[in-house]
């Protein structure tokens, strides 16, 4: 019996014992975790010894030969594409049909040099599938590993998908797109997530949830084991989660948890774009915006089992990328909110100048008027940007269609906006012409600076805003034309 067959037999053998000692499953899995530092041969020997010592007095220990007899019928279903090409045409057609068969659950793990831990993760995922009694698969989405990760995954019976484009999100995209399951559970291959708990995600999916987010943080009932999360992340994760809750109304308590389950149908609707660490937050934000049914399950975050390298996550780089993505996904907070603030401040400035208010001995004059006009001009441009961004994002499937934007653009058509722009430009131009005529009448001599600027500054602002509205309206029409 070769190594691959031995691996599969061992997995079946381990599951038989695992089911027999369900009450002690936690201790059993913790012992399996301790084997990550051993070589593959040592892991096989240690697992055999471990399973043998776990027997009850009235339970006979299965031999590997017996396990092999029980699993020979299943090994034909695990043929790889490379061996399938050598089969006769009829057998090859059967293998191809089996490869296209829809399964119930796919467990996907992104992997980059995770030889220290990927074996334990695969075993736990296989245990979970066997305990649930459903047809499923374990997929390792390898992102260019140079260690023994791929060999270990294949020997343990996992399906390896090679993803050449670098990035956490890219690896997950490749693995999820190759998944044949109706549902998908994803998680990191560093042994920090307990894949034996996959049934908790699957059960919520079967109850109707489209996205089931894991929660490691105590605020959502989760638990972080000592040393499992850097102290900076213990503050950064709640802060970013709070932003997601406020900006997008997401009903979750841990935006960065990498273990989650979702339906394949939802994933295809979301049209994920981020190839980096933002992949996880993109899924949450889009699921919220598109009105998906979201549930949350508390989990335990264990200290990862890596020995050969540091974690792939970079705190400040990936934190900034996440914040940047929040802003890109929310035109309201990126453009409209700052624009509304500037418009309010500009309006206050105009009120102080026009009323000649005296506040604590300070008189606000044309210098304040100039700054206030600048604020109003920027506010008008930001409002245009918000509408343009919303329209473009909807046309590209990045954001759902906003009915408020639709109503606004229908009410304020290109022709109406051009009419408004013409009115603003004509009004501003008329004031400038009037004051220029007065200046000419004075022989182009000195004018009352304060009096003249009270007219010229607002007139210049009106011309600028009119031009902004005109060209933004043309761009809006281009974007809407592209969507139709």
pLDDT in tens, 341-367: 999 999 999 999 988 888 888 888 899
Domain boundary pick from 78, 95, 112: 95
Q: Of 457, 414, 462, nearest to 435 (Cα)?
A: 457
Q: Do 360 and 302 fall into the same domain?
A: no
Beta strands in 154-277 (DSSP E): 159-162, 181-186, 211-215, 223-224, 260-263
pLDDT in tens, 22-37: 444 445 445 444 544 4
Least confident of 173-187, 200-214, 231-245, 389-403: 389-403
Percent of the chain with pLDDT over 90: 56
Least confident of 164-168, 431-435, 442-446: 442-446
- Residues 403-420, mean pLDDT to the nearest whole number: 89
Q: Do 383 and 314 fall into the same domain?
A: no
- Residues 332-345, mean pLDDT to the nearest whole number: 95
Q: Do 213 and 312 fall into the same domain?
A: yes
pLDDT at 62: 33
pLDDT at 101: 63
Please count the other Cβ atoms lying within 10 Å of the Cβ belonging to residue 235.
10
Given pLDDT bands bounded at 50, 70 and 90, which one contains residue 311? low
Which residue segment(s) compose the domain that 371 sits in? 331-483
Q: Do 77 and 152 fall into the same domain?
A: no
Single pTM value for the model: 0.69
315 sits in which H/E element: helix 315-328
Asked if residue 256 lies in contact with residue 301, where contact means CB atoms within 8 angstroms, the answer is no
Given pLDDT bands bounded at 50, 70 and 90, which one contains residue 42? low
- Residues 310-319, mean pLDDT to the nearest whole number: 69
pLDDT in tens, 269-291: 999 988 888 899 999 999 999 99
Q: Of 336, 272, 309, nearest to 149 (Cα)?
A: 309
Tokens of 22: 């369900």
Per-residue b/e over 223-232, b at no fewer than 16 CB within 10 Å?
Answer: ebeeebbeee
Q: Do 386 and 269 fall into the same domain?
A: no
pLDDT above 50: residue 155 = yes
Q: Do 235 and 281 fall into the same domain?
A: yes
Q: Do 362 and 323 fall into the same domain?
A: no
Given pLDDT bands bounded at 50, 70 and 90, which one contains residue 483? low
pLDDT at 76: 36
Candidate ranges 305-319, 432-446, 465-479; pick with highest mean pLDDT? 465-479
Domain boundary pick from 308, 328, 348: 328
The torsion angles phi and psi of 106, rounded to 5 degrees, stand at -115, 130
CA distances 434 to 209, 251, 367, 458, Å, are: 66, 58, 22, 14
Percent of the chain with pLDDT over 70: 77
pLDDT above 80: residue 326 = yes
Read off the CATH number of the domain in which 114 is found.
3.90.550.10
Q: Do 136 and 260 fall into the same domain?
A: yes
Q: Who has greater pLDDT, 2 or 427?
A: 427
106 sits in which H/E element: strand 103-111
Q: Sort 187 into a burial class: Cβ within 10 Å, 0-12 / 13-18 / 19+.
A: buried
Alpha helices in 54-197 (DSSP H): 64-75, 81-84, 89-99, 118-132, 149-155, 168-178
Q: Do 56 and 139 fall into the same domain?
A: no
Given pLDDT bands bounded at 50, 70 and 90, which one contains residue 403? confident
- How distant is the alpha carbon of residue 152 from its chain centre? 29
Domain boundary pick from 95, 127, 143: 95
In this structure, the chain runs to a length of: 484
Given pLDDT bands bounded at 50, 70 and 90, which one contains residue 310? low
pLDDT in tens, 70-82: 333 333 343 333 3
pLDDT above 60: residue 292 = yes
pLDDT above 90: residue 124 = yes
Asked if residue 419 lies in contact with residue 457, where contact means CB atoms within 8 angstroms, the answer is no
Given pLDDT bands bounded at 50, 70 and 90, which one contains residue 334? very high
136 sits in which H/E element: strand 136-142
Q: Do 318 and 410 fall into the same domain?
A: no
Q: Do 159 and 274 fall into the same domain?
A: yes
- Residues facing 298 on adjacent strands: 215
Domains in the chain: how many in total?
A: 3
Q: Do 126 and 258 fall into the same domain?
A: yes
Q: Who has greater pLDDT, 324 or 318?
A: 324
């Amino acid at each position: 019996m070769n190594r691959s067959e031995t691996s599969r037999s061992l997995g079946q053998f381990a599951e038989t014992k695992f089911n027999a000692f369900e009450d002690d499953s936690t201790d059993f899995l913790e012992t399996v975790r301790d084997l990550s530092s051993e070589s593959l041969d040592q892991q096989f020997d240690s697992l055999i010894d471990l399973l043998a010592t776990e027997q009850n007095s009235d339970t006979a220990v299965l031999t590997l030969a017996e396990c092999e007899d029980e699993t020979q019928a299943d090994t034909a279903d695990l043929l790889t594409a490379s061996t399938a090409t050598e089969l006769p045409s009829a057998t090859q057609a059967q293998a191809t049909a089996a490869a296209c068969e829809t399964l119930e659950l796919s467990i996907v793990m992104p992997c980059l040099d995770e030889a220290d831990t990927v074996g334990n993760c695969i075993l736990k995922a296989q245990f979970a599938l066997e305990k649930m009694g459903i047809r499923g698969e374990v997929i390792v989405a390898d992102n260019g590993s140079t260690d023994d990760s791929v060999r270990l995954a294949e020997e343990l019976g996992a399906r390896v998908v090679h993803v050449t484009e670098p990035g956490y999100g890219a690896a997950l995209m490749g693995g999820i797109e190759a998944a044949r399951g109706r549902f998908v559970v994803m998680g990191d291959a560093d042994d920090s997530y307990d894949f034996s708990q996959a049934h908790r995600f699957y059960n919520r999916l079967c109850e109707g949830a489209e996205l089931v987010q894991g929660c490691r943080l105590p605020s959502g009932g989760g638990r972080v084991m000592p040393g499992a999360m850097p102290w900076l992340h213990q503050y950064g994760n709640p802060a970013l989660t709070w932003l997601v809750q406020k900006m997008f109304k997401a009903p979750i308590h841990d935006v960065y948890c990498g273990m989650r389950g979702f339906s394949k149908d939802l994933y295809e609707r979301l049209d994920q774009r981020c190839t980096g660490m933002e992949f996880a937050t993109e899924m949450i934000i889009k699921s919220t915006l598109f009105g998906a049914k979201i549930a949350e399950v508390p989990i335990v975050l264990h200290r990862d089992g890596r020995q050969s390298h540091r974690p792939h996550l970079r705190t400040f780089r990936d934190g900034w990328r996440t914040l940047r993505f929040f802003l890109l996904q929310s035109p309201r907070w990126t453009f409209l909110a700052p624009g509304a603030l500037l418009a309010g401040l500009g309006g206050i400035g105009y009120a102080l100048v026009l009323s000649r208010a005296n506040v604590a001995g300070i008189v606000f004059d044309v210098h304040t008027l100039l700054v206030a006009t600048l604020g109003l001009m920027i506010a008008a441009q930001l409002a245009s940007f918000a509408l343009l961004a919303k329209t473009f994002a909807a046309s590209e499937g990045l954001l759902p269609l906003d009915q408020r934007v639709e109503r606004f653009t229908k009410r304020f058509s290109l022709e109406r906006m051009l009419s408004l722009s013409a009115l603003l430009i004509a009004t501003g131009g008329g004031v400038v012409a009037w004051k220029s005529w007065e200046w000419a009448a004075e022989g182009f001599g000195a004018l009352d600076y304060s009096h003249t600027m009270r007219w010229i500054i607002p007139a210049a602002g009106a011309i600028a805003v009119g031009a902004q509205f005109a060209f933004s309206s043309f761009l809006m029409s281009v974007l809407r034309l592209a969507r139709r």
